[in-house]
Structures are given as C-alpha cells and as structure tokens.
C-alpha cells in the first residue's frame, strides 16, 4: 500500500495512538503523509487536526511537523519538541502532561474517549504474523489493543536482532481483575517477545528504512561533572553507613548531560554489579553494560546518539540478553519500582527551600517538556534524588528559590537535592531544617545571602512557622526575572 | 510494674515509637507519666524531650499533653491536635509531615536514625504470649520490631473479640528482598492475627482501662450534603457510562463531615455490595456494614464516636469477619491501592484553577494537620476525587484560588474536584480547559467573576499559555486575606 493511501485511514478528529518514546521507535513516514493531507485540507479551507497520544517524546518529523501545521488538537502524555513547545506556550496546542505509568490504564478505563487509529513502528513481522517491537515499546501494546484500525511501519533500519529483547506483558486488566506484577528482579521476564495484533485490524503496512532521532551526546561540562561527583559521594556515604548495599539498588536515571556524567562516574567504580530499572537506555548505560559494571537493564526505550546506535547495532549480540524492553506501564509501574527499591535520579528546573521540586514549568506559566516518569519513580523510590545546576541562564536564574513557581514533586516526595555546590539530604528533617540545609549546601554563593535573608525574615514574621513564607514575596524572584531579566536584586 | 517505673524506660533524646492512629489504640497512661517526668526535669532546670513517631493522630492526652510541656523534639508522621498544631505553627515543634505508607520502610532503611523505645497499646496477650492488637495497627509492627525496648499498655476497655480481626503481615523486607503483596481482594488475609514481640524486649507492661478518643460525629450540614450528592451523581454517571462497575470499586474515604454525608448517601443506594480499602473506619462505614450495603472493609484503624464505639463493642460478632485491620504500610501500599483500583475521596483545603490541591497548609505557612494517606491513595487511585466546600470562614476564603499556596497533590494526580457547587471532571483536559471547568462548576458564585477575570487576564498576558499565571498576582488572594481578613476584592 502506498504511504498516501495508508495515511487516508487517519481522519479529522481522530484520536491517534502513535509509537515513540524519547526519540526511538516512532513512525517515520506516516506523520509526514498526514502533514501533507493537513496542508491539502487547509488549501481547501478545511481544518484537519487529530489528537496525538504517544509513549513519550518523538522527533521533529512527528511532533515538530504536525505542530508546525497546527494539526494537533490534544497532545499527550509527553513532548520535548521545540516547535511543539512553542505552540503549547503560545496557547495554540492543548497539552496534557501526565505520569507516564498512568496513560495506559486511563485509556483502558475510557477516561480519554475512544482510540480510533494506531500508528506503530515495528522492527519486523515473524512468519507467524507476530510483530517484533522496535527500539521503544511505550504504549504500543495499548494502542494496538484499543484502536479500531492499525497502521504499521516496518522499519528495516532497526536491527533484526531486537527480536527477543522485549517483554510484552499481556496480564494487565482493569480492576477488580488485576493481579500482582510478578517482577522480582530487573531481569525477570513475565510476558512475550511480540506484540499481538488481530490481522483484521491492520489497515495498512508501510515499509521504511530510517534511523531513530539522533540524541546527540554532549561532552560533560564542569558543572555536570561536579553534580555527578556529589551524587557519587552521597551514594558512597550511604553504602558506608549501611543504608545501601554495596552494589546499590536498581538505578533509574533521566537523560541528558548530568545523567551522562553520573553514568560515566559509575563506570569502573566500586558499586557493582549495577542494575537499572528505568525508562530509557542512553549511551552511558550501554557503556556500563559493555564494561561489565552493569549486569542488566530494564527499560521501555533506547535514546541513543548516532554513535550509540551504531554500537548497539554492531554489538547487539553482547547486549541482547542483558536488556529487557517493557511496556511503559510496567517499566514505570509503582508496584515494581517500590518493590525493587529504585534509586531515582531526576533533573529539576528549580527546587525551593522547603524541598518542593518543579520539573516542568518555566516561571509558572510555560511548559518545558513534562513530568514524564519522574513522578512514578520519585514517589516510589528507595531514595528520590533531584539533580540541578544551582543556577541557569549564566547566573541570572537561581535554581534554588523561596517558592517554586510550579510543583511536580512535593516536599513529601523529595529525599535529596544535589547541585554542583553540594548535597542536601532532607530525610528526617522538618521544613525549616530542610531550608537551612538547602541554602547552605545547594544554593549558589551569589544567591545564598538572598535566600538566607528571605528565610530569616519569613521565619521572623510569617503568620505560621511550619513552612514560613512571605506570601507577597514568595514568587518575587520569578517576577523580577520576568521584569528585569535576572533574579538578582539590584 | 508501676506506671512511673515504666516511664523511666524513656530517656531524654530517645526516639519513641508510639501506637495510635486517628485517635484509636494510642497509649493512654505512659504519655501522662512521661509528662510528669518532663515537668520534674524542668523543675530541676533540665530539658527532657523526645521524638515521637506514631501511626497517625493520637489524642489530647498524648499529643496535646506532650506538646504543652514542649517535650517533643520531632513529631512524625501526622498530627491533628490543636495544642500540637499551635506549637508547630509557633516554630516551637519540629514536624515531619509524611506519606503514611512511607514511614515504616524509611524507618527500616535507617533514614531517621535508631528507634529506642516503643510504647504500644494492645487489647490483650494470649496465653502463648502473642499480642492482640488494639483498635489501630498503624506502625506497631515496625515499632516493636525496631525498638530496643518495648513498653506495653494492655487496655481492657478494648473488646477481647478484637482478636482475629487483624492481619499483621510479616513478609515485608528491604530491597532487594521484597516480594509481591499478595492481596487480590479487600478481604484477603496474608499475615497473622497477632503482633510478635521477643519477651526480652518487653521492659514494662502497664494495665489500663480507658476509652479511645471520642471522634464526635457532627450532624451533616447542608453544604456537606450537597457535596455528597454531587459525588453520588458523578459516580452514577460513571457507572452509567460503563467506566465503573455497578458495585463500584473499593472505596477510600477520609474522615469528617463530608465523608459522613457521602457514606450516608451510599447507604441503601444502588451501588452494592460495596467494599472499602481505606485507612480508617468511621461511624458511617460501620453503618454500611450493618445495613448490608457494604460487605467488607480493610483499614488500619477505627475512628469512632462514643456511640460508634458502643455499637462496635455490642455487635462485634457481626462485624468481626467483615473487617480486616492491617499495618499502615499495607493499608496504604501503592501496590495494593493501584491493583484494587480504589476510588479515593479526600478533602482539600484549597484547589487552584489548574487542578493542584493543597491539603495541609493555611495561607502557605501554617500547617493544619498533614497529608496523611491522601497521597498514597490519590496517586494510585482509579479515580482520585477531592472534596471541599467552595468557601471557608463564612465566605471570606475561596477554596478555589488562582494558585494554591502549598501543593500536596499536583495537577498530575487530581482527577475530579467536587464542591457543593458542582463537579469538575478534569481527566483528559489540558490546563486551560481544566481552569474553565473548575471556575464554571466548582467556584462559589461570589468568587466566580474574580477567578474568571484572573484567568482571562493571565491567558491574555502571561508569558506562557500552558498554565497562564500572573506571577505577581498568583498568591495575591492569600495576601489579601492575611491583610484584610477576606479574599474578596473591595
């Protein structure tokens, strides 16, 4: 079937479930064909828009291209595309930012209405008609199960030897029929290696040969390096104190510069054999497998640089049995995360003196990316750590503020805050003691006196002294930044 | 052993784990003896203070009495006592407000240091030396397991027939040794009926005969009644739409007026047989069991009025096999809550237009009670509902505000907001659509125009339009209340 014919199965107003998680395994061609249909409709004076549900982020040729032509009614549950972000923040695109473990169950539940069509990339089809999942699993099982019509993209760029790396769990159900998720170790397999799809649902099959998004690997900068060193010191201290086993507990790590610095710091270090129960496998995790520092990884997707992908493809035999790719409702399942006792390491945009974390919003109003799986992991982690440079925008923004302008992780969910300045272990501390520790250990010296001044005045004059705030002034740092371009007081 | 001798086993600086959850099963006499020791020490010019860890709230003779003499260094994980609250808000008492499911595991983990002594009320001791738990379980298993010394209060006021109603799970462990919690239905028992305590740990046994705190049952007021009706309408609508089964799913309910109105509204209604997987059994839940509308309740504690307690004691035979009392790390376990698919109904102090909920703080700085188990349930619920009157303080406070002054449940965790004005089902809505629905359906008419004005101006001029805020004005309603005694603009 031609690509254009395939795209005909997507109709205006449809809810469309697309594959894709952190730039891996998203459909490469159908979104472009859809964009052409949208433009044709616009030329006729018709509006053509759909709701786009995915695993997580995709790539410019999906999110960016559809957002650019205003073809998205509602986007969920995560995005990180610059065009899409600009449209959301301009008020032109509705975005539903969700815990990634919640998506599948709420779709089964019917909370978002009916799923009309699924567009799913697979790595291949077996002679028996089973679908070999691609470089991400995400919500693909749910999209295929729930959609009326399924469009497959079979991407021959994906290595055939991905076959057997996935563990698709078909034991989920709606309550009251749910059973325990019987994962006791990172490497446990509880499902099957293939996605099932009734043949009569498949309305189109498109062959592609296109690489996943290149998640470029930036060299570790000095600040990220110092954050990583602080984190590693903290872990060593916990092991020494007997609060963590010598091989730690399963790691969960976000992506990006700081995560790469952490993973590099772990490589060849004293903690081994490591495991990871996480969302995403980035370059640094592959390196840990390769060196033998890490034994096994469970995730729902890869997110690799060009070099990382080349390495995976060239050496897939040595990775094959040490990686399990699961649906995101399992990779991020609270039950499993809490049972395994993950060490959760996630980034933050800002933290406040009482330990609340903002992971998603800039100055209260604009979205950056989304909460992703950070809430699934932090809430249920053995130790929930949040990592951020102490300043942003060349020092014009302090990442430690009196009150965060948006809360994604409440004071109840945050164990440890780490910046390049140091570590604040907040466990067991009442709010005012947390404040002093965060100011002393994590704030940038340029902002420390300002924070201390706020905290002292609030402690002296606030109407309540549990979490003393000057309510007129709590968000004044953000207001000042919006007005003057800096949080520094003049 | 005399009471005063027993209290000698508590030393200045100790971490003390006390029984007690929502005014049930707390030690009745040892805290008073401790207060006398504290006063004697003060008369000598010595400071005598301890850290007090409990299940949840206790009673005036424990929390109130100890707080009144400044005998508490750190209080966790929950309190609701007026004296204690006043001390916390005066900055004289450190309070750590935690998710109730997190407490036991963090104590095992060593995150709060060593537990020196446990003071635990039991209903009796079997001839074999097994402890019959009292009217709450809370963290008692953990306190007894972890403490060096155990002081028991054996309270003969508690009915002997409590024996067999508890299910104490001894299968918990630290990772990597955790196993699935094999509760598949509300009524499942996975443990034993008794608390184990090595004899050589028991340093004192005190006999008491004292009632639990009387959790007075107030008549349902008109506003609570309308909130309950709105909730029941919502549930009926969900059942009609096929999104909930006709007997619903296990209920979790907070306590208080609104909860009582909801439970009364359910009694004899179309949804049956109901079950509850919850923290607390209040009068209204007993009534549901009695009428046959509810079949089984799992909880960690009772919280009854004098009449409710009398009814339980008189008719315990008919309740005995339909109630399971569990440790709070099991009653509130994310794994079980998510598996069972609880319908979570919790109160709120305020909600903002984007669906963030404040359950704990007044005007940003002062604590009310604490988050308790509301986060354990809401995050993992099938449907997370928050209930609040649309105004407080005779209309001087709007419970719907531009931005909450403290966040306990983020926009990612809140499905439905219900006031006496109506229901806002937020599922599937991007933030600005949530705002319009909350303003239209939930806000009090006296504040609706003000909220609309804020939202319209923010939507027009905020730097980002995902969750548009006027950062200078977002908390101005709270500032106005603190200054003028009302949120109404003059």
Taking only the tens place, the pLDDT of each residue in A47-65 is 999 999 999 999 999 999 9
Q: Choose the final residue of a domain: B185, B208, B231.
A: B208
Choosing among A464, A468, A470, which should be mutated to test the B contact, i.e. which has the most B CBs within 10 A?
A464
Measured between beta carbons, which residues in chain A are less than 8 angstroms from residue B333? 338
Radius of gyration (C-alpha) of chain A in whole angstroms: 23
Nearest to A106 among B405, B413, B427 (CB): B427
Q: Which of A29, A279, A329, A350 is catalytic?
A: A279
User: What's the pLDDT score for residue B10?
Assistant: 98
Q: Judge whether A348 and A358 are in contact, CB under 8 Å.
A: yes
Q: Judge whether A136 and A19 are in contact, CB under 8 Å.
A: yes
Within a 13 Å sphere around the CA of A158, how many CA atoms are in the beta-carbon half? 27
Instruction: Output the pTM of the full model.
Output: 0.98
Residue A135 and residue A226 share a domain: no
Q: Does the pLDDT value for residue A228 go beyond 90?
A: yes
Q: Judge whether B342 and B249 are in contact, CB under 8 Å.
A: yes
Average pLDDT in the B279-296 region? Answer: 96
Confidence band of A268 (pLDDT split at 50, 70, 90)? confident
Q: What's the pLDDT tens digit per position in A130-158?
A: 999 999 999 999 999 999 999 999 999 99
The reply to whether residue B466 touches residue A410, judged by beta carbons under 8 angstroms, is: no
Measured between beta carbons, which residues in chain A are less than 8 angstroms from residue B378? none
| Buried b or exposed e, range A202-239, using 16+ CB within 10 angstroms | bbbebebebebbebebeebeebbbbbbebbbebbeebb
Q: Cα separations (Å) of B182 from A13, A385, B137, B297, B330?
A: 43, 29, 19, 17, 11
Q: Judge whether A383 and A415 are in contact, CB under 8 Å.
A: yes
Residue A179 and residue A49 share a domain: yes
Distance from the A52 Cα atom to the nearest Cα atom in chain B, whole angstroms: 12
Nearest to A338 among B112, B185, B335 (CB): B335
Residue A433 and residue A378 share a domain: yes
The reply to whether residue B475 touches residue A478, judged by beta carbons under 8 angstroms, is: no
Residues spanned by the domain of A85: 3-208
User: What's the pLDDT score for residue A215?
Assistant: 82
Average pLDDT in the A213-229 region? Answer: 90
User: What's the pLDDT score for residue A459?
Assistant: 98
The reply to whether residue B74 touches residue A175, judged by beta carbons under 8 angstroms, is: no
Whether residue B14 lies inside any domain: the answer is yes
DSSP code per residue over A59-99: -IIIIIHHHHTT-EEEEES----HHHHHHHHTT-SEE----
The reply to whether residue A364 touches residue B478, judged by beta carbons under 8 angstroms, is: no
Q: Are strands A15-18 and A117-125 parallel, antiparallel or unpaired?
A: parallel
User: What's the pLDDT score for residue B490?
Assistant: 72
A/B interface, count of CB pairs below 8 Å: 252
- The 3-state DSSP class for residue A276 equals strand
Return the percentage of chain A with pLDDT > 90, whole number: 97
Q: Does the pLDDT value for residue B292 go beyond 80?
A: yes
Number of H helices, E strands in chain B: 17, 25
Average pLDDT, chain B: 97
Average pLDDT, chain A: 97
Q: Choose the final residue of a domain: A141, A176, A208.
A: A208
Confidence band of A216 (pLDDT split at 50, 70, 90)? confident
Residue among A189, A178, A464, A176 nearest B363 (CA)? A464
Instruction: Give the CATH number of the domain where residue B95 resides.
Output: 3.40.1080.10
Residue B115 and residue B41 share a domain: yes
The reply to whether residue A466 touches residue B367, judged by beta carbons under 8 angstroms, is: yes
Residue B226 and residue B202 share a domain: no
Q: Judge whether B378 and B384 are in contact, CB under 8 Å.
A: yes
Q: Choose the final residue of a domain: B208, B243, B263.
A: B208
Phi (first) and psi of residue A93, to 5 degrees: -145, 125
Q: What's the pLDDT tens digit per position in A284-324?
A: 999 999 999 999 999 999 999 999 999 999 999 999 999 99
Nearest to B366 among A334, A463, A479 (CB): A463
Choosing among A364, A382, A454, which should be mutated to test the B contact, i.e. which has the most B CBs within 10 A?
A364
The reply to whether residue B94 touches residue A433, judged by beta carbons under 8 angstroms, is: yes
The reply to whether residue B181 touches residue A185, judged by beta carbons under 8 angstroms, is: no
Residue among A337, A300, A301 nearest A169 (CA)? A300
Peptide bond into B77 cis (omega under 30): yes
With CA atoms as reference, the chain A residue closest to B409 would be A410
Q: Judge whether B304 and B286 are in contact, CB under 8 Å.
A: yes
DSSP bridge partners of A282? A303
- The 3-state DSSP class for residue A282 equals strand
Q: Cα separations (Å) of B365 from A353, A462, B80, B110?
A: 13, 7, 16, 29
The reply to whether residue B408 touches residue A412, judged by beta carbons under 8 angstroms, is: yes
Calpha distance A192→A195 (Å, rounded): 8
Residue A229 and residue A188 share a domain: no
Choosing among B67, B97, B105, B365, which should be mutated to test the A contact, i.e. which has the most A CBs within 10 A?
B365
Say what the alpha-carbon torsion angle B136, B140, B142, B145 is, to the nearest 10 degrees: -150
Residue A262 and residue A173 share a domain: no
Q: What is the DSSP letter of A229?
A: H
Calpha distance A281→A303 (Å, rounded): 6
Whether residue A405 lies inside any domain: the answer is yes
Nearest to B249 among A175, A468, A474 (CB): A175
Calpha distance B359→B78 (Å, rounded): 13
User: What's the pLDDT score for residue A21?
Assistant: 98
Measured between beta carbons, which residues in chain B are less than 8 angstroms from residue A335? 180, 334-335, 338-339
Distance from the B261 Cα atom to the nearest Cα atom in chain A, whole angstroms: 26
Residue B31 and residue B73 share a domain: yes
The reply to whether residue A176 touches residue B249, judged by beta carbons under 8 angstroms, is: yes
Whether residue A490 lies inside any domain: the answer is no
Distance from the A129 Cα atom to the nearest Cα atom in chain B, whole angstroms: 32
Is B279 a catalytic site residue?
yes
Q: What's the pLDDT tens digit per position in B54-104?
A: 999 999 999 999 999 999 999 999 999 999 999 999 999 999 999 999 999
Q: What's the pLDDT tens digit per position in A432-484?
A: 999 999 999 999 999 999 999 999 999 999 999 999 999 999 999 999 999 99
User: What's the pLDDT score for residue B217?
Assistant: 74
End-to-end CA distance of chain A: 65
Residue among A292, A367, A370, A278 nearest A324 (CA)? A278
Please return the burial class of A2, using the count of CB atoms within 10 Å of its CB with bins 0-12, 13-18 and 19+.
exposed
Confidence band of A220 (pLDDT split at 50, 70, 90)? confident
- The 3-state DSSP class for residue A473 equals coil
| Buried b or exposed e, range B365-384, using 16+ CB within 10 angstroms | bbbebbbbbbbbbbbbbbbb
Q: Which of B153, B238, B279, B350 is catalytic?
A: B279
User: What's the pLDDT score for residue B39?
Assistant: 98
Whether residue A198 lies inside any domain: the answer is yes
The complex's ipTM works out to 0.97
Calpha distance B221→B218 (Å, rounded): 8
Measured on CA atoms in the order B461, B467, B471, B477, is the torsion positive or negative? positive
Distance from the B404 Cα atom to the nearest Cα atom in chain A, whole angstroms: 10
With CA atoms as reference, the chain B residue closest to A428 would be B112
Distance from the B369 Cα atom to the nearest Cα atom in chain A, whole angstroms: 11
- The 3-state DSSP class for residue A12 equals coil
Calpha distance B348→A294 (Å, rounded): 45
Contacts of B49 (CB under 8 A, 6+ apart): B12, B13, B38, B70, B71, B72, B73
The neighbour count for residue B259, using CB atoms within 10 Å, is 24
With CA atoms as reference, the chain A residue closest to B99 would be A412
Nearest to B475 among A113, A408, A475 (CB): A475
Residue B190 and residue B136 share a domain: yes
Q: Judge whether B98 and A429 are in contact, CB under 8 Å.
A: no
Q: Cα separations (Å) of A289 from A314, A323, A415?
A: 14, 9, 28
Residue A404 and residue A365 share a domain: yes
Measured between beta carbons, which residues in chain B are less than 8 angstroms from residue A381? none
The reply to whether residue B363 touches residue A463, judged by beta carbons under 8 angstroms, is: yes
User: What's the pLDDT score for residue B404?
Assistant: 98
Phi (first) and psi of residue A7, to 5 degrees: -65, -20
Residue B287 and residue B171 share a domain: no
Phi (first) and psi of residue B385, to 5 degrees: -110, 140
Number of domains in chain B: 2
User: What's the pLDDT score for residue A240?
Assistant: 97
Whether residue B489 lies inside any domain: the answer is no
Q: Cα separations (Å) of A481 from A359, B403, B455?
A: 18, 19, 22
Q: Does the pLDDT value for residue B28 go beyond 90?
A: yes
The neighbour count for residue B246, using CB atoms within 10 Å, is 9
The reply to whether residue B382 touches residue A339, judged by beta carbons under 8 angstroms, is: no
Confidence band of B361 (pLDDT split at 50, 70, 90)? very high
Residue among A26, A49, A54 nearest A38 (CA)? A49
User: What's the pLDDT score for residue B268?
Assistant: 83
Calpha distance A228→A389 (Å, rounded): 11
Within a 13 Å sphere around the CA of A410, how many CA atoms are in the beta-carbon half? 27
Calpha distance A86→B352 (Å, rounded): 24
Nearest to B335 among A97, A335, A409 (CB): A335
Peptide bond into B237 cis (omega under 30): no
Whether residue A215 lies inside any domain: the answer is no
Distance from the B213 Cα atom to the nearest Cα atom in chain A, whole angstroms: 26
Number of H helices, E strands in chain A: 17, 25
The neighbour count for residue A318, using CB atoms within 10 Å, is 10
Q: Judge whether A69 and A88 are in contact, CB under 8 Å.
A: no
Whether residue A489 lies inside any domain: the answer is no
Measured between beta carbons, which residues in chain A are less than 8 angstroms from residue B413? 99
The reply to whether residue B463 touches residue A363, judged by beta carbons under 8 angstroms, is: yes
Contacts of B219 (CB under 8 A, 6+ apart): none
Residue B170 and residue B99 share a domain: yes
Measured between beta carbons, which residues in chain B are less than 8 angstroms from residue A242? 110
Q: What's the pLDDT tens digit per position in B114-143?
A: 999 999 999 999 999 999 999 999 999 999
Choosing among A110, A175, A276, A463, which should be mutated to test the B contact, i.e. which has the most B CBs within 10 A?
A175
Distance from the A488 Cα atom to the nearest Cα atom in chain B, whole angstroms: 17
Whether residue B490 lies inside any domain: the answer is no
């Amino acid at each position: 079937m031609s690509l254009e014919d395939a795209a005909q199965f997507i109709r205006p107003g449809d809810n469309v479930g697309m594959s894709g998680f952190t730039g891996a395994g998203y459909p490469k061609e159908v979104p472009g064909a859809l964009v052409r249909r949208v433009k044709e409709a616009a030329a006729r004076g018709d509006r053509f828009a759909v709701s786009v549900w995915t695993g997580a982020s995709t790539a410019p040729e999906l999110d960016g291209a559809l957002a650019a032509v205003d073809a998205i009614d509602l986007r969920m549950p995560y995005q990180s595309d610059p065009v899409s972000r600009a449209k959301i923040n301009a008020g032109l695109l509705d975005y539903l930012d969700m815990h990634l473990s919640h998506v599948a169950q709420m779709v089964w539940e019917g909370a978002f209405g009916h799923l009309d069509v699924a567009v799913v990339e697979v790595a291949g089809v077996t002679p028996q008609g089973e679908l070999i999942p691609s470089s991400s699993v995400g919500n693909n099982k749910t999209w295929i199960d729930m959609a009326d019509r399924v469009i497959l993209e079979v991407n021959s760029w994906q290595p055939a030897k991905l076959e057997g790396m996935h563990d698709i769990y078909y034991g989920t159900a709606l309550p009251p029929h749910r059973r325990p998720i019987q994962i006791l170790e990172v490497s446990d397999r509880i499902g099957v290696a293939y996605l099932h799809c009734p043949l009569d649902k498949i309305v189109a099959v498109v062959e592609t040969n296109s690489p996943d998004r290149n998640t470029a690997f930036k060299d570790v900068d000095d600040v990220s390096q110092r954050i990583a060193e602080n984190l590693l010191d903290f872990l060593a201290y916990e092991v020494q104190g007997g609060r963590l086993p010598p091989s730690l507990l399963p790691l969960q790590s976000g992506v990006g510069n700081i995560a790469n610095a952490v993973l590099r710091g772990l490589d060849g270090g004293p903690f081994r054999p490591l495991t990871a129960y996480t969302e995403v496998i980035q370059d640094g995790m592959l390196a840990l497998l390769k060196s033998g520092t890490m034994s096994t990884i469970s995730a729902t997707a890869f997110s690799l640089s060009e070099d990382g992908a080349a390495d995976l493809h060239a050496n897939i035999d040595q990775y094959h049995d040490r990686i399990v790719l699961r649906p995101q409702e399992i990779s991020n399942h609270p039950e499993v995360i809490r049972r395994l006792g993950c060490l959760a390491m996630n980034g933050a945009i800002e933290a406040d003196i009482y330990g609340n974390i903002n992971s998603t919003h800039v100055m209260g109003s604009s979205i950056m990316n989304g909460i992703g799986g950070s809430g699934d992991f932090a809430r249920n982690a053995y130790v929930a750590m949040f990592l951020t440079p102490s300043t942003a925008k060349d020092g014009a923004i302090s990442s430690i503020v009196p009150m965060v302008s948006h809360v994604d992780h409440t004071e109840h969910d945050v164990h440890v805050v780490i910046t390049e300045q140091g570590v604040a272990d907040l466990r067991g501390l009442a709010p005012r003691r947390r404040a002093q520790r965060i100011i002393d250990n994590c704030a940038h010296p340029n902002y420390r006196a300002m924070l201390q001044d706020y905290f002292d005045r609030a402690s002296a004059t606030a109407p309540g002294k549990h979490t003393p705030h000057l309510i007129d002034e709590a968000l004044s740092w953000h207001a000042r930044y919006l007005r003057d371009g800096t949080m520094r007081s003049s």
